[in-house]
Chain A
Amino acid sequence: MSGWNILNIAQALATPQRAHKMLENSPVSFLHANSELLKKHTNKLDRILAILFFWPLMISGLSMALLALLKSIGLFAN
């Protein structure tokens, strides 16, 4: 199991199912996990763990990318 699979599962469990369905029905569905199957075989604790893992990772990662971009265009002049 690679790191990508862990992330896919966490994403499927942590995002609202309706939003995730859109990704699963798109032509690039192979990039995303099957949330219906996962919901059936996981309990509440699994979902809380997924949320605790997924959202902090995404928020910190994306804000770091944003900060790096802003720094590179010279927003934080020192």
Chain B
Amino acid sequence: MSSVLLCNRDLTSPAIQQACNINLQQLSAPHCPSPAFAKANTPYLLNGHSSAQGRRIQTLLSPPQVARPVTELSLTFGEDNTVAIAAMMEQLKDYNIALTGASTSVYGERISGFAKSVKEYQVALLTYRDAKLGNASNHRQLKQQAHRTFQRMQAQFRAELHATTNHISARRGIPLTNPERGINIARSSRNAAKLHFANEIEAHKLVRFSQYTKLLGNGLAVIDFGTRVGNVRNSYRTGGHWERDLFIESSSFTASAITGIATAKAGAAALGLLMVATPVGWVGLLIGGIAVVAVSAGSSIAMNSLVQESGGSWYDLIMSTLK
């Protein structure tokens, strides 16, 4: 277990002591074993001067384009939740890909509905936070609204919420399972957050997650649901080969969607012919239907990962042929 401290502005020793009851001597920075004060958006290792794993996690979080979103995320969503939500979003992203592929099916609509209701709840929380910070008079009403969007999400998507949050073990619940938790985090305005990592995999997930996050001016962080666009934009911002990434993202999306649609369509036709030619009946139809959906989702996921992994070399090949 390694702990990392992050703050969104420079904090002196007494300020840190007050904010999270930590002595400055306990912290260590990558190039400075005993800092005089805690710099903003810099990961400080807590009590881990000699831990190799802690050092590696610290290096992962160190680049400014990672450290800043991670800091804002931890302060927006709460420190014990951020790592958990990162793991959850990783899972949601996998769903998302399966869905865009089979987006013509009923289940596709259901999942995009789920992502939408999570987004609505998030927006309601952030509006409430804005109102609270600006001392607006209608914050009570906005709190009610956050509660309502939460209840709607709970009622409509009980099964999906359970599937995406059941492996997350935050002690006080995460904002997706506990409305009070979300509202409390939205209300507080803190400067420092302490993150606990059980292993490096968690840190890796958090780094990936942070790249899908939008920072909205006054220290608010929201999850960017358009992850494919997020990938391209990140690469553009950090000066990478964004045209190459655009090629990879768009072609993998198209290939995966077409594969999913075609297999679903062929499956539906096969199902019709099967019903005519054999006496399978309605039970057979149900099993066949599930098989078609599984094949369609599976092949579109496979296609997506295939193009994601080889798309870059195809792009290089095309470009070198054109030159």
Q: Given A3-B103, A3-B104, does the pair A65, B262 have CB atoms closer than 8 Å?
A: yes
Whether B262 lies near A57 (C-beta < 8 A) is: yes
Interface of A is mostly: helix
**Which chain A residue has the least Cβ–Cβ distance from B258?**
A61
B62 to chain A, nearest CB (A): 36
Q: How many chain-B residues does the 8 Å CB contact rule pick out?
A: 25
Total A-B pairs in contact (CB under 8 Å)?
75
Residues of A within 8 A of B263 (CB): 61-62, 65
Whether A68 lies near B272 (C-beta < 8 A) is: no
Residues of A within 8 A of B266 (CB): 58, 62
Whether B272 lies near A65 (C-beta < 8 A) is: no
Return the CB mask of A50-63 against B: 1 if under 8 Å, else 0: 00000001101110
Whether A31 lies near B261 (C-beta < 8 A) is: no
Return the CB mask of A64-78 against B: 1 if under 8 Å, else 0: 110011011000000
Return the CB mask of B254-285 against A: 1 if under 8 Å, else 0: 01001111110110110111011000001001
Whether A26 lies near B261 (C-beta < 8 A) is: no
Whether A26 lies near B303 (C-beta < 8 A) is: no
Return the CB mask of A20-50 against B: 1 if under 8 Å, else 0: 0011011111011000000000000000000
Q: Does B299 contact A (CB under 8 A)?
A: yes
Q: Among the listed A25, A58, A62, A68, which residue makes an inter-chain contact with B306, where contact means beta carbons less than 8 Å apart?
A: A68
**Which chain B residue has the least Cβ–Cβ distance from A56?**
B258
B168 to chain A, nearest CB (A): 31
A29 to chain B, nearest CB (A): 8
Whether B272 lies near A32 (C-beta < 8 A) is: yes
Q: How many chain-A residues does the 8 Å CB contact rule pick out?
A: 25
Q: Does B302 contact A (CB under 8 A)?
A: yes
Residues of B within 8 A of A65 (CB): 259, 262-263, 299, 303
Whether A28 lies near B275 (C-beta < 8 A) is: yes
> What's the Cα separation between A73 and B57 when bound, in Å?
36
**Which chain B residue has the least Cβ–Cβ distance from A23?**
B272
Q: Given A7-B261, A61-B259, does the pair A28, B104 have CB atoms closer than 8 Å?
A: no
Which of A62, A68, A72 counts the most B-chain CB atoms under 10 A from its CB?
A: A68
> What's the Cα separation between A3 and B100 when bound, in Å?
12
> What's the Cα separation between A33 and B304 when bound, in Å?
30
**Which chain A residue has the least Cβ–Cβ distance from B265?**
A7
Q: Given A11-B265, A28-B268, A58-B262, does the pair A64, B255 have CB atoms closer than 8 Å?
A: yes
> What's the Cα separation between A49 and B107 when bound, in Å?
29
Whether A64 lies near B265 (C-beta < 8 A) is: no
B139 to chain A, nearest CB (A): 40
Whether A4 lies near B299 (C-beta < 8 A) is: no
Whether A58 lies near B265 (C-beta < 8 A) is: yes
Residues of B within 8 A of A29 (CB): 272
Q: Among the listed B261, B272, B299, B306, which residue makes an inter-chain contact with A57, where contact means beta carbons less than 8 Å apart?
A: B261
**Which chain A residue has the least Cβ–Cβ distance from B105?**
A4
**Residue positions of B touching A, CB distance < 8 A:** 103-105, 255, 258-263, 265-266, 268-269, 271-273, 275-276, 282, 285, 299, 302-303, 306
**Residue positions of A touching B, CB distance < 8 A:** 2-4, 7, 11, 22-23, 25-29, 31-32, 57-58, 60-62, 64-65, 68-69, 71-72
Known contacts A4-B104, A25-B276, A64-B299; 14 additional CB pairs below 8 A are A3-B103, A7-B261, A27-B282, A27-B285, A28-B275, A32-B268, A32-B272, A57-B258, A61-B262, A65-B259, A65-B299, A68-B302, A69-B302, A71-B306
